[in-house]
Amino acid sequence: MLAQQNTHETVAAEISDHCALQAGDTLQLQFPGEPERGRYKVTVIGFVENCSLMITAPKKNGHILLLREGQQFVVRLLSGKQVIGFDSEVLKVYNNPFAYVHLKPPAQVQQCKVRNAYRVQVNNIASVQGINEKEEESLPESNKDTYAAKIIDISTTGCQLQVLKLLPDEIKKIVLSTRVEIAEQIRFLKLEAEICSRRECDYNNIKGYLYGIRFFKMNDDTRLLLNCFVYEKLVHDFFKD
């Protein structure tokens, strides 16, 4: 159950005004309790207060889904840094002059702020190298090696790293290097970070070690690239078919 109770009038104002819901906006539909059926992107056609939310018919592999009146959905939309969700159901399905659907206005909504620590799933190859605890000190030669790693999730404040080879205990801080795609362009990220946790893992049937990493000392350019990458990935994942 959603936590916050609202009347239809309150919800309509919240969705149309606070979220600036407009024709052409993208929503995500999901069958409740059936995650295996996936999520579907639809486009808002219009919103009639206290009457219906009109959307394009959801499709799978290019084919329109067969829906029935009363079919229930979980509806989500991304508005700024807020993810808004509500339960709804199909009021009416029309196929002419094109396939579109009337959804029931929600009786209640749930808002979730996308925090800076929101993590997105990735599969980025990276390299790791230990850095000095103090500028005047040097690490042992063995700790200057570069270690192969894989980033399995990332946020604007840290990430989880999978490595096959255990890092030496002397390494407390690292330089993490990886390539990311932002706006269809490849960019190079080099991040200073500290190790916060370590445990053995078996990720995708590959045994190794999982490190919890916290970023620090980012300059403005690096912070901008990292934020762009995380939020672009968030939006892509949120609205993917």
Q: State both tokens at 16.
A: 């149309």
The residues with which 41 forms a beta bridge, in sequence order, are 28
Q: Give the pLDDT score at 80.
A: 66
Rounded CA-CA distance 193/29 in Å is: 38
| Distance (Å) of CA 181 to CA 113, 122, 144, 207 | 25, 11, 28, 27
Query: What is the amino acid identity at position 24?
Result: G
The residues with which 76 forms a beta bridge, in sequence order, are 28, 85
Q: Give the pLDDT score at 175.
A: 94
Query: Does 70 have pLDDT greater than 70?
Result: yes
Confidence tier at 234 by pLDDT (50, 70, 90): confident
Q: Which domains does the chain have, with CATH numbers?
A: 4-113 (2.30.110.10), 120-239 (2.40.10.220)
The residues with which 72 forms a beta bridge, in sequence order, are 89
Rounded CA-CA distance 125/214 in Å is: 18
Q: Give the pLDDT score at 239.
A: 58
Residue range 86-104: mean pLDDT, rounded? 93
8 A C-beta contact, residue 176 and residue 126: yes
Confidence tier at 192 by pLDDT (50, 70, 90): very high
8 A C-beta contact, residue 165 and residue 207: no
Rounded CA-CA distance 234/141 in Å is: 39
The mean pLDDT of the chain is 81
Could you report the per-residue pLDDT of 197-220, keeping only the tens digit for each? Answer: 999 987 667 788 999 999 998 999
CB crowding 63-78: b at 16 or more within 10 Å, else e: eebebeeebebbbbbb
8 A C-beta contact, residue 89 and residue 110: no
- The three state secondary structure string of the chain is CCCEECCHHHHHHHHHHHCCCCCCCEEEEECCCCHHHCEEEEEEEEEECCCEEEEECCEECCEECCCCCCCEEEEEEEECCEEEEEEEEEEEEECCCCCEEEECCCCEEEEEECCCCCCEEEEEEEEEEECCCCCCCCCCHHHHCEEEEEEEEECCCEEEEEECCCCCCCCCEEEEEEEEEECCEEEEEEEEEEEEEEEEEEECCEEEEEEEEEEECCCHHHHHHHHHHHHHHHHHHHHCC
Query: What is the amino acid identity at position 148?
Result: A
In this predicted structure, which of 75-84, 146-155, 168-177 has the lowest mean pLDDT? 75-84
Q: Give the pLDDT score at 13.
A: 43
